[in-house]
Amino acid sequence: MKKVVLIGAGKIGGQALECLGEELVEYFVDNHKAGQTYMEKPIYSMEKLMADREKYLFLLTIADMKYRDEFIDQLYRMGINDFYYFDCGIYKRNIFQKSDSQVYTRKTLYEDMVEVNPERVCVLGGERQIGRFVANLFEIENYYDETKFYLTPDLADEYDFIFVNVKNYSYKLHSQLKTTNIKIYYIAHYYNSYNFLAKRGLAEFAGKYKGEKRCFIIGNGPSLTSRDLDLLAEHNEFCIGLNMVQEIYSQTKWRPNYICISDKLVISQKLDYILENNSCPIFLSAAVQLCLSPFQYEKAILFHEANSQDRVYRVIRFGTELSNGAIPSGWPVSYTAIQLAVYMGFDKIFLLGMDNSNWTKCSSDDNSLFMNDRNEELITWVCTNAYKRAEAASIEYGFKIYNATRGGCLEEFERVNFDKLFSKLS
């Protein structure tokens, strides 16, 4: 295998080194820091590249466009046109993602490849040049552009691994690859969340339940009881559960129609457990790309957390048009679920088990999933403003949110007695 010279000794360069592994990095190049060291690697000026242009691969790791253009111009003037770009998005996950691996575990590229025989590997696709970079780095000769590569079941006789790096991943492509019985790795962004969202999106849910009587959003607060859930099941109420709501399944016959998860800690620590213990569709934040291949579970419906802020409430805006797969985020997953319910067509939304308290308490006796190291005051402030924004949106768009939680500290919505909601139905 070859080694890499990182052009740019800054934050992105450090991320590239951590991603590749120190074993693969020879040195840094940075005109402004020549003569120093960074992450225990020497830093040289650009002139050093001329002597080493045949020995190493050059990887540009500069985020600032001003300095990036400066370095690129100098490379071209030196007659060096063969270099690659480090995509900082790669740093968020493994360069390689096994197709049968459900949970993300960070490994360096060196650790992934050190024992792999390059003669038994083929690289499929050159998207973002990462495929070509990996092929050159590990001297893999079996490199194919995606438009010229034909998948056949007997590929397993020729290769042990296929490293896939194409622009648009699809279930069709994945199914074709699986028939080859070869170990499949997806390079870098093993899928692009925006491509995936654009294809599936949330368009199918627009007004899907319009005319239904009401929707219950079930939180994980300590006030939630199995008796309440049994009542919901008895009356066949439409429900969206949040995060780890399955923790109470052993005590009730109730099951939600959908589950909504946006908490990155929940996703990283509990996602497999949640998916294994629920049969209903699950709305998942696109942060799931850190942990889960979209090909693993058909029931996963991805959404992107939008970032356009509302200046009045200092939280993300309230969205009523979600067909492109983007849902404004206000921190609490309940804010996301409320928007989903409105988008689905419900004009009466009831919150249950939404105590809005006990942020720093986490015990086995309740269903709370808030972590001990979070800042209670900050979270309370952000969540309160999110709920205020949701209440304002209900007035603006003509739907109603009620708080049916027993007790708790959520006072932004009109309170109703949960038991009385069923007195006229019995």
Q: Is the pLDDT of residue 53 over 80?
A: yes
pLDDT mean over 111-121: 85
CA distance 340 to 271: 20
- pLDDT over 50 (residue 100): no
- Provide the pLDDT confidence category of residue 314 given band limits of 50, 70 and 90: low
Report H helices in 143-246.
Answer: 171-178, 193-200, 226-234
- Within 10 Å of residue 117's Cβ, how many Cβ atoms? 11
The answer to whether the CB of 241 falls within 8 A of the CB of 376 is: no
User: 58 in helix, strand or coil?
Assistant: strand
- 82-96 mean pLDDT: 62
* Beta strands in 104-153, from DSSP E residues, in sequence order: 121-124, 142-144
Q: Is it the case that residue 289 has pLDDT exceeding 50?
A: yes
Of residues 142 and 102, the one with the higher pLDDT is 142
* The pLDDT of residue 94 is above 90: no
Inter-helix orientation angle 333-344/376-397, to 10°: 10
* Contact assessment for residue 120 and residue 159, using Cβ atoms and an 8 Å cutoff: yes
- Planar angle of CA 303, 307, 308, nearest 5 degrees: 125
Confidence of residue 93 (pLDDT cuts 50, 70, 90): very low
Sequence-ordered alpha helix ranges (H) in 164-252 = 171-178, 193-200, 226-234
Instruction: Give the pLDDT of residue 217.
Output: 96
Looking at the chain, the whole-number percentage of residues with pLDDT higher than 90 is 31
Q: How confident is the model at residue 279 (pLDDT cuts 50, 70, 90)?
A: confident
In the predicted model, what is the mean pLDDT of residues 218-229? 91
For residue 95, CA distances in Å to 88, 111, 169, 195 come to 11, 11, 16, 19
In the structure, what pLDDT confidence band is assigned to residue 360 with cuts at 50, 70 and 90? very low
Q: Are 271 and 259 spatial neighbours (Cβ–Cβ below 8 Å)?
A: no
pLDDT tier for residue 361 given thresholds of 50, 70 and 90: very low
Quote the CA–CA distance of 281 and 263 in Å, as a whole number.
17
Please choose, from the candidates 219, 218, 216, 225, the residue with its C-alpha nearest in 3D space to the C-alpha of residue 365. Answer: 225
Sheet containing strand 25-29, strands side by side? 37-38, 41-44, 25-29, 3-7, 56-60, 84-85
Which DSSP category does 302 fall into? Answer: E
Which pLDDT does position 309 carry in this prediction?
Answer: 61
3-state DSSP assignment of residue 372: coil
In the structure, what pLDDT confidence band is assigned to residue 187 with cuts at 50, 70 and 90? Answer: low
Q: What is the pTM of this model?
A: 0.59
| Residue 212 pLDDT level (bands cut at 50, 70, 90) | confident
pLDDT at residue 47 in the model: 92
Rounded to whole angstroms, how far apart are CA atoms 296 and 104? 13
Provide the pairing of β-strand 315-316 with 161-164.
unpaired
Instruction: Extract the tokens encoding 354.
Output: 């939404």
